[in-house]
A and B are shown apart, each in its own frame.
Chain A
């Protein structure tokens, strides 16, 4: 910072005006390295953000380090157009929902968009998960931590995904949480499940919950890379699965069209 202060004739960014103006100096003081500070500053100037310092303060108070904060700016620049107070309110709200220290930071750094969602929206998904899908409060928190994207999903779609796994696959809530179910789009879930089912490697349990074969645990189906899924669980080649995916997409598309016709009647 010395060089700048030694040159008071320089105006503009170097002038340290606390409040709503961001300066390189203040960034350095916050603990950003010189390059990080420059990048941050450039971003802020380019997009004419107004409340950056208060946003930064809120994020720093949360315990996020400068490199994470920079990453957030790159991933989701809109965060910096928030008012510091709004941001703080949303963070507090997430805490109240049961996201403890560690989980909260993880969620925000992986999915900064959560800070842009209105409180109302953020409430809807957990309520659905609790009331319609009968997850416990604790499980809901785990879901939010592991797959915050769930907050943005269409509610009907979300419920359908749950029902698919519950009824069609015969899997209960604790296993769904372990398998980080809500990270996967429904189409992918359906693809992996139906592929196994048609290969004779997965069965829907009967009313007593029994199957003739031993179903693989949900997390071994969903929570692994496609390669692992194919070699360890489906025992199939990538070429087969690739064709299957195309066929499934067409099947679904045609089924959707049929449903449309029949609901028109």
Chain B
């Protein structure tokens, strides 16, 4: 059967929507972001420290021109990300499994490890990954005990498959990782105030996907209501994440959208609701140093009111990724 293109493809609706809102929000920066979003995105290779394939990194970096852009030695966590320098459009080959079937690296938008990095996970800490599927960030988190949750059952299955391809069986059996599938807005009592670190990697308009791919596009006419309710859902999930955090613990909120409404506004809204309705004080943590340290690899937006935003750019076509780090004070 032939696929008949609808009269208004969702990608076109998405672009139209972006043109209207982002040209106001981002002004002169918008054309460069737009062209990058409509071109092939760049990937980074997250080296799987559980893989026994020898010298994945050396192989990647010797035969390609890839460079390590974030690594464990610098950040006390066990992962290393490799990617090609600015302006280089080379691609990574698909990862090959080692003798026990574990893949050597995971290809993902390199910028998507930054929220995990911001979370500053250390061994011994408890972590909640509130919206985890398909599991890219979970893999980065996994050297600690963590609880991983996603509302969608089918997507949780995908998460399990990701973990099976990248983690040794023993690790999965040891119960180091808890996978649940519940609505992140309805935390159980036991989960309240019980995590050192909470990642709220939220459902959003996934701008790059929406501009390029027709399938599963949130800009379809039939999904208008769902899309309009996103900021509300996001605020609720972030609030829930804040509730799950221990005193002194951190929450990182992240999206892959450029939208102020889904980024800064949601964060600000959640901060004031937490205070007013739950009596929880949270403080925004400074991530400006990210922009300095990683400016070789990523293209950061000029200072926002809260949080950091990585802008897609042809020379460094990662993102959009927004992240904001909060600390619970009481």
A-side interface residues toward B, CB under 8 Å?
A: 195, 198-201, 234-236, 239-240, 242-244, 246-247, 250-251
Contacts and interface: CB of A to CB of B under 8 A. Distances in A.
Given A244-B39, A247-B314, A236 B89 contact: no
A200 B40 contact: no
A236 B87 contact: no
Interface of B: 19, 23, 28, 30-32, 34-35, 38-40, 87, 89, 313-315
Given A199-B31, A200-B31, A250 B313 contact: no
A198 B87 contact: no
Contacts of B89: 243, 246-247, 250
Nearest to B16: A212
Contacts of B87: 239, 242-243
18 contacts: A199-B31, A199-B32, A200-B19, A235-B28, A235-B31, A236-B32, A236-B35, A240-B32, A240-B313, A240-B314, A240-B315, A242-B87, A243-B314, A243-B315, A244-B39, A247-B314, A250-B40, A251-B40
A239 B34 CA distance: 16
A159 B35 CA distance: 28
A246 B32 CA distance: 16
A234 B89 CA distance: 21
Contact of B314 (A200, A201, A244, A250): A244
A247 B36 CA distance: 10
A234 to B, nearest CB: 8
A198 B31 CA distance: 8
4 residue pairs, one from A and one from B, having the closest CB atoms = A199-B31, A198-B35, A198-B38, A243-B314
Given A240-B314, A247-B89, A199 B40 contact: no
A213 B34 CA distance: 16
Contacts of B315: 239-240, 243
Contacts of B28: 235
Contacts of B32: 199, 236, 240
Contacts of A195: 35
Contacts of A201: 31
Nearest to B15: A200
Contacts of A200: 19, 23, 30-31, 34
B34 A247 contact: no
A94 to B, nearest CB: 43
A126 B30 CA distance: 43
A247 B39 contact: yes
Nearest to A201: B31
Contacts of A243: 87, 89, 314-315
A15 B45 CA distance: 78
Nearest to A244: B314
A121 B39 CA distance: 40
A202 to B, nearest CB: 11
A240 B31 CA distance: 11
A243 B35 CA distance: 11
A255 to B, nearest CB: 12
A91 B42 CA distance: 55
Most buried by A among B30, B35, B313: B35
A234 B32 CA distance: 10
A10 to B, nearest CB: 64
Nearest to B37: A198
Contacts of B313: 240
A23 B23 CA distance: 71
A198 B39 contact: yes
